[in-house]
Amino acid sequence: YLSTGQPWKTTDVVHAALTLFTDAPTGMTGNDDLGTMSAWVVLSSIGLFPVQPGYDTWGLSTPVFDRVDLSLDRRYHPHGRLTITAPGTSDADRYVQGLRA
């Protein structure tokens, strides 16, 4: 949906997919594909996900946390960090309104 100019639909789909996984013993049913699904859950929970594996194109969705601080490799990211803030997000209020770099 990101490519069709309807990013809110991406947010709805990612949010729905995240509800399929829990921290219970049955929270990740089936094969985790060597951590691929676990990595997707972590990335989607912080509001980022790879649009196409193997490329440096990332999608943006609403994080489930109010704030996430990531340390980045300075060889590739001169600032060395990425902070994502989304205070007050909820099931009813989960759409990204803007981005500041």
pTM, to two decimals: 0.79
Mean pLDDT of 11-33: 81
- Residue 101 belongs to a domain: no
Task: Dump strand ranges (E) for 51-99.
Answer: 58-60, 67-71, 81-85
What's 20's domain CATH number?
A: 3.30.2080.10
- Residue 43 belongs to a domain: yes
The number of folded domains in the chain is 1
Domain range for residue 46? 2-85
Mean pLDDT of 75-83: 92
Residue of 70, 72, 93 lying closest to 83 (CA atoms): 70
- Residue 70 belongs to a domain: yes
- Residue 94 belongs to a domain: no
- Among the ranges given (31-40, 68-77, 83-92), the one the predictor scored with the smallest mean pLDDT: 31-40
- Residue 98 belongs to a domain: no
pLDDT of residue 78: 92
Structural Rg of the chain based on CA atoms: 14
